Structure 1
Amino acid sequence: MVSVQQAVRVIVEENPLYMVTLLSGIANLSAIAREIKPLVESITGKEVNLVTIVKALERLTLRKTPISVKELGEALERAEVVIFNGVDEVELNLTDVERLYESHVLMELLKGYSILLTDGERIKLIAPVTALGKIVNSRNGQEYSLVRIIFGERAPVGFVTFLVQLARASGITIRHMLRYDNDVFIVVERGYAAAL
């Protein structure tokens, strides 16, 4: 049996608009509770009191770190945003990486705005199309943009989550989003870079 708390959490996490509203700290919990009540009852299989849903939303909001829109705005005002167009990604095998490393081509690539990702089995290289053309013949043909947000100090807590939810609510597909120290790197389709 699914609890009311679990049902509310699933509904909120599946709907980016609810998540953004709750994270922003400007949510009318009663209005959201009225809106999601039929879904909660459907998931739990029983009639649920509106106050119970509001309490579940309050608990969920307390667990998530609320970000004020003002704090985000201030942080973004102080941040530098750089957009690199003409970026692509290729998947490399370990022998390719070893060959590139030994020939120092990989080190030259990584001096620019390239990103090397691995999950232990696969290795992806995100780099300018012109640079990738020097090392691999086959590309996927899709050009992306790399958006780099550079914060003077540490990025606000929850910024990446907020940005992901905002992008989902806006219909923007994020290919990769990485946070490293004070920087946030976002790889998106070229047309979405300016909107982001």
Structure 2
Amino acid sequence: MKTISSIVEQYIKKKPFLQSALAQGIINLTSLSRIINPEIEQELGKDVRNGAIVMALKRLSDDLEFRATHKIIKVLKNIGEITVRSSLTDFTFLVS
């Protein structure tokens, strides 16, 4: 059975820019819910309140933020040793 949250998640995953904006918390959830409401209602086949979509977006944004933070930590742990070098000089010689 399709739920509002699953349909909202599918919709957001189809639009990477929205996924990024949600993860960063820079998007107005109420305005976004008003915009996507007709598509969610069409997919679900019944009336959907904006508040339900806002809650689904809020839960999804929290999850996306957690995933992004967790990925960064995982990458940093797997980097290993880092060597930083400065004042390097590059010489190029012409073969004569």
Which category describes the TM-score, using the shorter chain as reference length? 0.5 to 0.7
Decide whether aligned partners of structure 1 residues 62 and 37 sit closer, same or farther in structure 2, where only a CA change above 3 A counts: same
Deviation at 1:5, TM superposition (A): 0.6
CA distance in 1, matches of 2:61, 2:47: 23
Displacement over 2 Å in runs of 4+ = 156-159, 179-183
CA distance in 2, matches of 1:158, 1:4: 27
CA distance in 2, matches of 1:19, 1:59: 13
Tell me the percent identity: 28
Deviation at 1:158, TM superposition (A): 4.2
Asked if the contact 1:29–1:58 (Cα under 8 Å) also holds between the matched residues in 2, the reply is yes
What RMSD in Å do the two structures reach over aligned CA positions? 2.3
Tell me the residue number matched to 1:6.
6
The one-character-per-residue Cα deviations of 1:123-159 (angstroms, maximum 9, x if unpaired) are xxxxxxxxxxxxxxxxxxxxxxxxxxxxxxxxx5445
TM-score between the two structures when normalised by the length of structure 1: 0.35
Listed as ranges, the gaps of 5+ residues in structure 1 are 68-155, 160-178, 184-196
The structure whose RCO (Cα within 8 Å, separation 6+) is larger is 2
Q: How many residues align?
A: 76
Higher helix fraction (1 or 2): 2
Listed as ranges, the gaps of 5+ residues in structure 2 are 81-96
Tell me the residue number matched to 2:29.
29
TM-score between the two structures when normalised by the length of structure 2: 0.67
